[in-house]
Chains A and B, each alone.
Chain A
Amino acid sequence: MNGPVRGKREGRGPRSTPAQPDEQVAVRKSPRASARRRALVQTGPTVPVPASVEQGSGSAQSRLHEMQNTLDRLVRDVGQASVDGGSRQRAVDALGRIADRLGTPMASRVLASGGPLAGAMSVRGLSRRVSRLAMRHRADEVDEFGLDREYEAHIRPTIASLYERYFRVQAQGLHHIPETGSALVVCNRGGVVPLDGVMLKEAVARSSERERGLRWLVEDFTFHAPFLGTRLNRLGAVRACQENAQRLLAKEEVVAVFPEGVKGVSKRHRDRYKLRRFGRGGHVKLALRSRVPIIPAAIIGPEDAYPILQRLSVFRGASGFPFVPITPTFPLLGPLGLVPLPSRFIILVGAPVEGILEHPAEAAENVVVVNELNERVRNSVQMLLTQALEQRGHNVYR
């Protein structure tokens, strides 16, 4: 009794519930059913209901016995070679009713075999077929953070062509990310749309033999952005907070964080690639508590894809976005202005930052230690950024 519930509930089912809710539902549905009746074309004869299938008097045992006998007789009727339309129809109706009480999928096969009921179900059947069609690129299940494997596979070619042809991403140093086990990748943030996360994910998948997936943390306003937030979530992005990140690291995933956050996104074009403050060291606390290495990374390119000339904070409260970016194309060309410019991306990943795991997990409460380690991580990322900028030189868009 104190063990798992599975064994106990084998022959399960709330015992007496079918009686009550069915009546409730039948009563509730009758106006719609009568409307549907009028709208439908009857293709078969109306037949009287076999009395034995109706609600009989007596105990549940005797009713069950009656139903079993009726079921045997009906199956015999249907199976007969010389069965005529009337009795077959009676059998189909009665089987449908019994199957409804037992809740078995047998009825759907019986109904699919034809008769007036099959025609009547066409409206519902149509909506079911539409639903199935709409699910063709999506999996029936998602993981606990919303990653949809089928959608990811479906959109992979688009991302791959962006990676290779549009942004011409050059990725180096990805061997620092381990093949198995968790790691925390700390990266600079830029560009209004989280292209950096998507391109980093693609780079990590290409570099590892078994196509290792990357989970990256996005800010609130991106995660809750209409349409975009959902798409990113199905690709593996997760809302940035300590609990989510800790759980992902415990599941042995590689997690990418962008500590600059909203400050990184709202940099003006002339301040591009100057690292802002790295938050309050939340990523350092995360690494200390979860005992994972911090791997610095730098991505250049997103800030040139969306050169923000100015930002407007006027619509802040209403839309939930912290600012409205003014780029050379955005408010002028409307939604077309959100298409990124084809800048060249370079992703540089460095060796794990030293000295993080020498401190015990309790050091996460120590503000001095956390700030010192935060500065160390920031310096590593800054060095990688400088290196990447030198490597790119002046070929920003070519």
Chain B
Amino acid sequence: MPKKTQKVKASSPQARSSPVKKRARRGSVVAITGSGGFLGRNLVAVFEEDCTISKIVVLDLCNASTAGPKTVFYHVDLTLTGVESRISEILNAEQVESFVHLAFCAGPTQAVAWAHELESVGTMHVLSACRQFAVSKFITCTSTLAYGALPDNPNHLKEDRKLRGLRGAPFVAEKLDVERQLRRFQREQPNTVVTVLRMAPVLGPSVDNFVARWLTRSLVPTVLGHDPLVQFLHEVDAVAALRLALDNESSAVLNIVGRGVLPVSTVARLAGRVPVPIPFSLLRGLTSLLWVAQLNEAPAEFVYLLRYLCVADGELAARRLGFHPAYSTADAVLDFESAQRMREARVLASAQ
């Protein structure tokens, strides 16, 4: 009989409240939504190989591509009404201990109404299910873009700073709503450990989001006369932070960011692109037009990220979670660039 891992300590909530669980399981049970996205499917892969987790309950429209023997799949559509009773039934049936909620859009989308249903209303359903069946831990990810790219931002935004959103961009407004709901949930459910990870934009060899698409062009648009500092989180560090958050024992809101910052023009140049400075109003207008025509990776409000600072401080995550990013912002950009180069080689090779 393998010895009990340190996951279920004598002082932890699950040990106190349900001795039945301690006897029946050798590892913990984790429920995960949003397993189709980048973070979700990589996290499922990590859980598959983690011996302290005995079962992964995937709640999604289709099973994760990285699902393995530990995964149990339930078809759940978060945009339907009445789904919270179904979720709480599943949580009860599987005796889920930790809930990882990753059912969010990875980047801005034109389908604003559907995104609102999925992110805001879906989170509402998930949280009411977690109220009915009290889970021990609730982990979710939002974005550091919620702080907003505003002229009066200091160089290191701390977690207690008021979230002001990105000039009303729907993508970021949804994250603000989710954070609001989670604060209320944490107040009302003191026994659940709520961990909110505010992640910097993720960049890396395989992730495909609005940052990667912005850097894919040979001529990268920037704002004329401005060159703010930006930070990225490497995709490996993002998944690692989620895994660490599962071991967190007290509720916290944490910034998860890569090491160091870089100016926007340096990012473009390290990625082997040529930055093209465009006057701000013109760039905003062009972005808006291209976004409406579904040719662009982000709406006009995101141009403010190329003009003003939005850099968060990751010191609290290092202290509370033990999260030390292995990659810096420059590493993430270089990794992305070398993967792009390999892909181009592959495409050109297959063309011959």
Contact = CB atoms under 8 A, between A and B. Distances in A.
A311 interface: no
Interface stretch (B13-21, B123-131, B186-194, B234-242): B234-242
Nearest to B66: A16
A268 B308 CA distance: 31
A123 B156 contact: no
Contacts of B90: none
B235 A14 contact: yes
Contacts of B274: 127, 130-131, 134
A5 B244 contact: yes
Interface residues of B, number: 69
Interface string A206-218: 0000000000000
A22 B343 contact: yes
Most chain A CB atoms below 10 A, which of B225, B269, B322? B269
A131 B273 contact: yes
A243 to B, nearest CB: 4
B227 A29 contact: no
Interface in B295-352: 308-309, 322-326, 328, 330, 338-339, 341-352
B327 to A, nearest CB: 10
B260 interface: yes
B225 A108 contact: no
A152 B343 CA distance: 37
Contacts of B323: 4-5
B156 A144 contact: yes
B250 interface: no
Contacts of B12: none
B61 interface: no
B151 interface: yes
Nearest to B328: A141
Given A5-B323, A29-B347, A243-B154, A20 B65 contact: yes
Contact of B236 (A9, A93, A97, A146): A9
Interface stretch (A68-76, A113-121, A182-190, A326-334): A113-121
Contacts of B45: 14-16
Contacts of A132: 269
A230 B307 CA distance: 11
Contacts of A145: 155
Contacts of A247: 155-156
A209 B295 CA distance: 56
A111 B352 CA distance: 15
B155 A5 contact: no
Contacts of B121: none
B208 A24 contact: yes
A6 B326 contact: yes
B272 A128 contact: yes
A8 B344 contact: no
B247 interface: yes
Contact of B348 (A33, A105, A127, A130): A33
Contacts of A128: 272
A121 B345 contact: yes
Contacts of A229: 226
B246 to A, nearest CB: 9
Interface size class of A (residues with CB under 8 A): 35 or more
A227 B227 CA distance: 8
Contacts of A140: 266, 270, 330
Contact of A138 (B226, B266, B271, B348): B266
A230 B227 contact: yes
Contacts of B288: none
Interface string B250-289: 0000000000111100101111111000000000000000
Most chain B CB atoms below 10 A, which of A6, A25, A107, A142? A25
Interface string A85-103: 0000000010011011001
Contacts of B330: 140-141
Contacts of A42: 352
B137 interface: no
Contacts of B237: 5
Contact of A13 (B6, B236, B262): B236
B224 interface: yes
Interface in B148-169: 151-152, 154-156, 158
A46 interface: yes
Contact of A146 (B6, B229, B268, B349): B229
A121 B218 CA distance: 13
B198 interface: no
Given A46-B352, A131-B272, A21 B262 contact: no
A120 to B, nearest CB: 5
Contacts of A134: 269, 274
B206 interface: yes
Contacts of B260: 141-142, 144
19 contacts: A3-B322, A5-B323, A15-B49, A16-B66, A20-B65, A21-B207, A96-B345, A103-B339, A117-B348, A130-B274, A135-B266, A140-B330, A220-B151, A224-B226, A226-B225, A227-B225, A230-B225, A230-B226, A241-B154
Interface of A: 1-6, 8-9, 12-22, 24-26, 29-30, 33-34, 36-37, 42, 44, 46-47, 49, 93, 96-97, 99-100, 103, 105, 107-108, 111, 116-117, 120-121, 123-124, 127-128, 130-132, 134-135, 138, 140-142, 144-146, 220, 224-227, 229-230, 233-234, 238-239, 241, 243-244, 247
